[in-house]
Amino acid sequence: MTSYSNFGVIGGGAWGTALAQMLAAEGAPVRLWAREEEVVAAINAEHRNPLFLPNAPLSPSLVATGDLADLAPSCPSPSCARSWRSFLPATRR
């Protein structure tokens, strides 16, 4: 069985943020990719997601990014929490 110490989540909506927070609450470093710049900024500065999960405080070990390439070095198997319809355009950026 493979164990991971770093996690990545693609999708900074409510579901992706909740999944990332569950992992981060256990102390794991988690990198969350979000399309919205204001979500990335708020997660990193205030540890909250004001657009999709406004009343949930987020762990300091949860770090957001707007660049999918930032997930690759730290997490070999990121989880995807995006709808299929919105996933393909996001990968073409």
The per-type count for the chain, helices as H runs and strands as E runs, is 3, 4
What CATH number did the domain enclosing 19 receive? 3.40.50.720
> What is the extent of the structural domain holding 43?
7-84
Domain-located, residue 72: yes
Domain-located, residue 2: no
Domain-located, residue 46: yes
Q: What is the pLDDT of residues 20-57, one digit of tens each?
A: 999 999 888 899 999 999 999 999 999 999 999 999 99
Domain-located, residue 40: yes
Task: Give dist(CA 47, CA 62) in Å, integer.
Answer: 8
Domain-located, residue 90: no
Query: pTM of the predicted model, to two decimals?
Result: 0.79
User: By three-state DSSP, how is residue 76 classified?
Assistant: coil
Instruction: Choose between 10 and 80: higher pLDDT.
Output: 10
Task: Give dist(CA 61, CA 47) in Å, integer.
Answer: 9
